[in-house]
Structure 1
Amino acid sequence: MKIKILVAMIVLGTLCSFSNYDSIPAEYSVIKQTKPYEGETLIKKEDCATCHKIDKKVVGPSYLDIAKKYPMNDKNVKYLTEKITKGGSGVWGAIPMSAHTALKKEDAKKIAIYILSLNK
């Protein structure tokens, strides 16, 4: 009986080693390249705190509200990256978000990933 269990475990282990399992699903591919804390560091350097807080609405929505509204996926990271760099209005009310055109697109992406990572 012990030999059968041992053989079964070896076979199962071998089969698992050939699988293409990845701990992060494909739709989270942008996260693989970015650690959320990088975005948090960038937020502290920018003027984001003027209008946003983590857990309460100031001028704009809280980061937690944004994270709850937009699930973490490539589409939403791209959308928020564009919102951060180009600005916009109408989604969270009439007050527009100013454009951050001087911010590099990669940095805006890191900020978007950080914000979306807050939804746990």
Structure 2
Amino acid sequence: MKKYHVAIAFLAITLASCGGGAENKDAKATAPAASGAALSENPDYKKGLELIAGSDCLTCHKVSEKLTGPAYKDVAQKYESNDENISMLAAKIIKGGQGNWGPIPMTPHPALSEDDAKQMVKYILLLRNK
């Protein structure tokens, strides 16, 4: 059953990131600041999306809407994409956290590698509206 939910979540994120044919400004992909390539072709975007789709992140987060935790786009708006923020946010994913987005704590993910957590953060920060 969990695999079914992960597959549905992955499909939903994929459709949202590609626009899904809808006129939803939040779902339109934009080019990263440093590259002319489409966002969906960015290797950090692809790998991060894959890692998030295979995790439990979508239980508490959505791309454009607050759920239990903040929307990924809200996180991207709050934090500039730099090495310091990527490391800090990756550590929060692994260790869990509370207070930056309200009283509900984020569940720790100690089995997640630092490299994978950083890749997830890079994906999230690519969602920043420029």
- Do Structure 1 and Structure 2 share a fold, with TM-score over 0.5? yes
TM superposition score normalised by structure 2: 0.66
TM superposition score normalised by structure 1: 0.71
Aligned match of 1:92:
101
> Shift of residue 114 of structure 1?
0.4
Aligned match of 1:51:
60
CA distance in 1, matches of 2:89, 2:114: 11
**Which structure 2 segments of 5+ residues have no match?**
1-32, 35-42
1:40 and 2:46 correspond: no
CA distance in 1, matches of 2:73, 2:96: 19
> Shift of residue 48 of structure 1?
0.3
CA distance in 1, matches of 2:126, 2:107: 23
CA distance in 1, matches of 2:60, 2:69: 5
CA distance in 1, matches of 2:59, 2:46: 20
Aligned match of 2:120:
111
Among 71, 75, 82, the residue aligned to 2:80: 71
CA distance in 2, matches of 1:53, 1:35: 18
1:80 and 2:89 correspond: yes
CA distance in 2, matches of 1:108, 1:41: 12
**SS of aligned partner of 1:96:** coil
**Matched pairs, number:** 89
Q: What is the root-mean-square deviation of aligned Cα atoms in Å?
A: 1.4
CA distance in 2, matches of 1:59, 1:83: 16
**SS of aligned partner of 1:119:** coil
CA distance in 2, matches of 1:83, 1:71: 16
CA displacement, residues 12-67 of structure 1 (integer Å, 9 cap, x when unaligned) = xxxxxxxxxxx95xxxxxxxxx6221011000000000000000000000000000
Higher relative contact order (CA 8 A, sep 6+): 1
Aligned match of 1:8:
none
Runs of 4+ in 1 over 2 A off after TM superposition: none
**SS of aligned partner of 2:111:** coil
**Which structure 1 segments of 5+ residues have no match?**
1-22, 25-33
Aligned match of 1:27:
none
CA distance in 2, matches of 1:44, 1:104: 16
**SS of aligned partner of 1:83:** helix
